[in-house]
Chain A
Amino acid sequence: MAVASDKKVPSAGAGLMETLSKRVRQNIQTYTIILALIVIWILFTVLTKGAFMTPQNFSNLFRQMTVTSFLAIGMVLVIVTGGIDLSVGKAAGFVSVICAFLQARFWVDTMPISNPYLMAAASVLVGLLVGTAWGAAQGALIAYLRIPPFIATLGGLFIARGLILWRTEGKTIPANQVGFSYIAQGYLSDWIGWVLAALVVIFLFFNMFSSRSRKVRYGVELPPIAFDLLTTSFFALLVVVYVFMVNRYNGVQVPVALLAVASVIMTYVSNNTRFGRYTYAIGGNREAARLSGIDIKKTLFLVYTLMGFLVGVGGVVLASYVGYGTIAAGEGYELDAIASAILGGTSTLGGVGTVFGALIGALIMSSLSTGLQMMNVAPFVQYLVKGMVLVLAVLLDVSFKKGKA
């Protein structure tokens, strides 16, 4: 590309490699954790003599990360505002117990027609509502009654535990009805997977070209076309490889497809809506945001409510995934969600963090669990490794920032 171009044109002077290295330096953190993920995968593939990368395991790896991922992509925005939500694990657990309870006991007596799909849909709806209401209640406490997030949601954590115990009465409630199980255990047929992949690839390229033409119109510096083509092709290739891999097992997993949709929406919300901008501005400098006319209380309330909705989604998927509601449901998930967001570059100081990063973070956590389990490592070692990886990631980040300053 660059070789063929006329040397007198200055914009062509910024070559492919130059742009590439500049971008890597700018987004060093994102690239570092992607690299970390790849290293972890290679390591486990070698250590398990290839078992880690079999289509079945690959498929399960992604399916396994979905519940915490739903929580993590909501947690990003919460942490971006400078807050925290400690209740999400148990609250999602409570939603899962509610879903199980409705499926197993409630609908049978109350619904006039006993159609499993109708029951599943009603359970999902109630689950989402409970989650959203949960988030709204915490949001109201935090935003309008000024309870510090740490305390409000710590209280929420205890309450959720209590509610689970109350609803389950200490027993396990099945949630394995036909329609309901499909949510977390279903697979899309091969051809639907390929159609989806094609749509995503078309969208990626369309988006790239429309973004370039916008940049031209506003005189924003344009990266070399080779660079854009390369990165877009790379992501397109990832999608294709992914679909190829999962199609060799059972097809695209339904919960992963749901997660992808939720992540795209969350990314869009955080970048392209006023609500998203306000959230980041509040985290970056609350006083400046207030003086800029932003309704801080409303924004915070919405952030926690949105978190609650994702707790609802996570809870529904959880119930469907494990197939029953138990007292242990969601135990410790909040910590995985927080760890994923932080691994993905979300700053606990507020103002910084991406949904995409949190997803990679969740994938790393899930890869560590799966890989170590496959190697038959004792459970305590799994915790040690996860803890060390988290601290190491933040340590690296701190030293990168020091290098920059």
Chain B
Amino acid sequence: MSDDIILDIRNVTKQFPGVTALSDVSLQIKRGEIHGLCGENGAGKSTLMKILSGVYPFGTYEGTILYEGQELRLGEGSIQEAIKKGIAIVYQELTLVPNMNVGENVYLGKEPTENGSINWNKLYSDTRDILQRYNLDVDPQTPVKDLGVGKQQMVEIAKALSENAKILILDEPTSALSEAEIASLMDILRSLKSHGVTCIYITHKLDEFFRITDTVTVLRDGKTVVTKPTSELNQQQLVSYMVGREMKERFPKGNRKPGDVIFEVEDLHAEDPSDSTRMLLRGVSLNVRQGEILGIAGLMGSGRTELVTTIFGEYGKVVKGTIKVQNRELKINSARDAMQFGISLVPEDRKRLGLVLIQSILKNISLPNLDRFASFFRINADEELAAANQQARNLAIKAPHMEVAAETLSGGNQQKVVIAKWLLSNPKVLILDDPTRGIDVGAKYEIYKLMNELAEQGVAIIMISSDLEEVLGMSDRVMVMCEGRSSPILELADATQEHIMKLATGIA
């Protein structure tokens, strides 16, 4: 039994000033298994991984870690040391150099040399070997920037494997991937497993644990709650282990009473503004009623984000079709236009598109709304603060005060700030692009509740989501995007996961 334990974490405690990030965590990982690590944001997953990868060196934590039967003692600045020992980590954010090609990236910092100069032939042939061994279908000489996110993720994995990793840690590898890309990532993981590589797999998407892992460990508040074979668990149990209470439903039931159609898109065609041969949208029609949530499903690259950014006047160039708010046909050329017509967009990727991270919560919330508080000469600071405070209170943003920089907040609270800034503009139509991506279960629940409240107040909501269950759990009606086209709108009763997947993959 104990022989095939590759990693034995015993009673590890890690403290930061004022916070205990890990308290007495014990965890055994068997050789060759895929071990899922599950927990809300702040449960201690990242801290644990940072200890394993040497970011927090030996001595800064209590407890022992046995790796291959030996105590793991990584010194200061020892990320390289961990890699040499065979512990590799693939981070959530990709760390590739876009202008370099695949081979250069894989061997960055460890280029094979001959008499002091780089042996390019060896570099490329070695890269090809690694890629082939794990069925990664990428050409070593392609520049990374020309690859899709999914392929980039694979390159990232290849980079980790190039050091003969024994343990591969994947930290939310699928958060940016489409369903098809996730499927091929899963294949790669299975192939790694058959080569005897052990994986630690961290994700927020619960269904992935059941697709790929052998064992799951749940962390909560820095403690191990349970370690169980995946086959003995179900999603419901997993959620209740994570939040520590019985969570009957992931999606709160709203009391929504949809009214008249307020927003309509008809046969919208749009092209890439910088490349008129590339069509982004090839016929999208939809309508939303007041007080309703319309879910938009679709794979990455199906045109869902392009659809909402085009509606918002900030990306695609409309070549055909109409957009109507309250039966009035509109021309929207910029975000400013859209806002004036009562349309708000909570964009995907809150850090890149939603927030000015270095600025305060206050300034972020008021940014699109300054016209309301300002004359030509001055911003009425009192009104601004009062309005932002009100929003922060309604959304229960957890922060000591409004002057805190947005970058210091947790993912869930950051998303609330983005939503707050758009709610303050009193939208009639609120578009949410993947609003719960990368935030924990508790914060997701709060955002769902908020969406219900808004719909009850009569706001028409369009929600894009990569999470099918979320689409089905929250929407009144569902539309599916595939290759720039929209499906007919489905009533919830007709929308099953299977049916949606068929529409999304173009089978139906």
Q: Which of B362-411 contact A (CB under 8 A)?
A: 363, 366-368, 370-371, 374, 376-379, 381-382, 385-386, 389, 401-402
- Expressed in whole angstroms, the Cα–Cα distance for A289 and B59 within the complex equals 44
Determine if B368 and A292 form an interchain contact, defined as CB atoms under 8 angstroms apart: yes
How many angstroms between the C-alpha atoms of A280 and B359 in the bound complex?
9
B367 / chain A contacts, CB cutoff of 8 Å: 277, 281, 288-289, 292, 294
For residue A63, give the distance in angstroms from its CB to the closest CB of chain B.
31
Report chain B residues within 8 Å CB of A219.
389
User: Complex Cα distance A280/B363, Å?
Assistant: 10
Neighbouring B residues of A294 by C-beta, 8 Å: 335-336, 367-368
A274 close to B374 (CB less than 8 A): yes
Residues of A within 8 A of B386 (CB): 218
Q: Give the nearest-CB partner of B421 in chain A.
A: A292
Interface presence of A290 (CB below 8 A): yes
Q: Is the CB of A274 within 8 A of B379?
A: yes
Q: Does A221 sit within 8 A of B, measured CB to CB?
A: yes
CA A268 – CA B339 in complex, angstroms? Answer: 27
Q: Is the CB of B356 within 8 A of A284?
A: yes
Of A281, A287, A293, which one neighbours B353 at CB under 8 angstroms?
A: A287
CB distance from B427 to the nearest CB of A (A): 12
For residue B288, CB closer than 8 A to chain A, the reply is no
Q: Please name all residues of chain A whose beta carbon is closer than 8 Å to the beta carbon of B366 when the two chains form the complex.
A: 277
Contacts of A280 in B (CB 8 A): 356, 359, 363
Which residues of A232-256 are within 8 A (CB) of B? none
B374 and A214 within 8 A (CB): no
Nearest CB of A to B381, in Å: 7
The answer, yes or no, to whether B241 is at the interface (CB within 8 Å) is no
Number of A-B residue pairs with CB-CB distance less than 8 Å in the complex they form? 85
Assess whether A292 is in contact with B335, with CB atoms less than 8 Å apart: yes
Cβ of A114 within 8 Å of any chain B Cβ, yes or no, is no
Q: Is the interface of A mostly helix, strand, loop or mixed?
A: helix
Q: Count how many chain B residues have C-beta atoms less than 8 Å from C-beta atoms of the other chain.
A: 36
Q: How many whole Å from B454's CB to the nearest CB in chain A?
A: 19
| Binary A-proximity of B310-352 (CB < 8 A = 1, otherwise 0) | 0010100000000000000000001110110000010100001
Taking a contact as CB atoms closer than 8 A, the residue among B334, B352, B374, B385 that contacts A293 in the complex is B334
Contact (Cβ within 8 A) A220 B385: yes
**Complex interface: chain A residues within 8 A of B385 (CB):** 218, 220
Distance of A124 from chain B, by nearest CB (Å):
24
Whether B357 sits at the interface, judged by CB under 8 Å, is: yes
The yes or no answer to B358 lying at the interface (CB within 8 A) is: yes
Bound form: Cα–Cα A32–B276 in Å: 54
Q: A214-B381, A277-B363, A277-B367 are in contact. Are A291 and B356 (CB under 8 A)?
A: no
Q: Does the CB pair B335–A285 fall under 8 Å?
A: no
Contact among A214, A268, A291, A352 with B335 in the assembled complex (CB-CB below 8 Å): A291
**Residue A376, interface by CB 8 Å:** no
> Known: A277-B367, A280-B359, A293-B334. Contact between A288 and B379, CB under 8 A?
no
CA–CA, A281 and B377, complex, Å:
18
A141 to B203, CA, bound (A): 47
Q: Across the interface, which residues of B come within 8 angstroms of A207, CB to CB?
A: none
Is the C-beta of B355 less than 8 angstroms from some C-beta in chain A? Answer: yes
Which residues of chain A have C-beta atoms less than 8 A from B347's C-beta?
291
Please, which residue of chain A has its CB at the minimum distance from the CB of B368? Answer: A292
Are A272's CB and B378's CB within 8 A?
yes
When the two chains form their complex, are residues B355 and A288 in contact, meaning their CB atoms are under 8 A apart? yes
Residues of B within 8 A of A289 (CB): 356, 367
A284 touches B358 (CB 8 A): yes
B378 touches A291 (CB 8 A): no
The contact string, 1 if C-beta is below 8 Å from chain B, for chain A 310-324, is 000000000000000
* CB-CB contacts below 8 Å: A351-369 with B: 351-352
Interface: A217 (CB within 8 A): yes
In Å, the complex CA distance between A218 and B357 comes to 24
CB distance from A397 to the nearest CB of B (A): 15
Given contacts A288-B355, A292-B421, contact A221 B401 (CB under 8 A): yes
Query: For the complex, what is the distance from the CA of A274 to the CA of B334, rounded to whole Å?
Result: 18
A272 proximity list for chain B (CB < 8 A): 378-379, 381
A280 CA / B370 CA spacing, docked (Å): 14
B379 engages A273 (CB within 8 Å)? yes
Q: Is B54 an interface residue (CB 8 A)?
A: no
Contact B312 A273 (CB under 8 A): no
A351 to chain B, nearest CB (A): 5
Bound Cα distance from A293 to B337, whole angstroms: 8
User: Which of A214, A218, A293, A352 contacts B339 (CB under 8 A)?
Assistant: A293
Give the most central of A273, A278, A280, A293: most B CB within 10 Å: A293
Residue B173, interface by CB 8 Å:
no
Could you list 22 examples of A-B contacts with CB < 8 Å?
A: A217-B382, A218-B386, A220-B402, A272-B379, A273-B377, A273-B379, A274-B371, A277-B370, A280-B363, A281-B356, A281-B359, A281-B367, A285-B355, A287-B352, A288-B355, A288-B356, A291-B312, A291-B314, A291-B354, A292-B367, A294-B335, A294-B336
13 extra interface residue pairs, beta carbon distance < 8 Å, beyond A281-B367, A285-B355, A293-B336: A273-B374, A273-B376, A273-B377, A273-B378, A273-B379, A281-B363, A284-B359, A289-B367, A291-B353, A291-B354, A292-B368, A295-B336, A351-B356
Closest 7 CB pairs of A and B: A284-B356, A292-B368, A293-B336, A293-B335, A285-B356, A274-B370, A292-B367
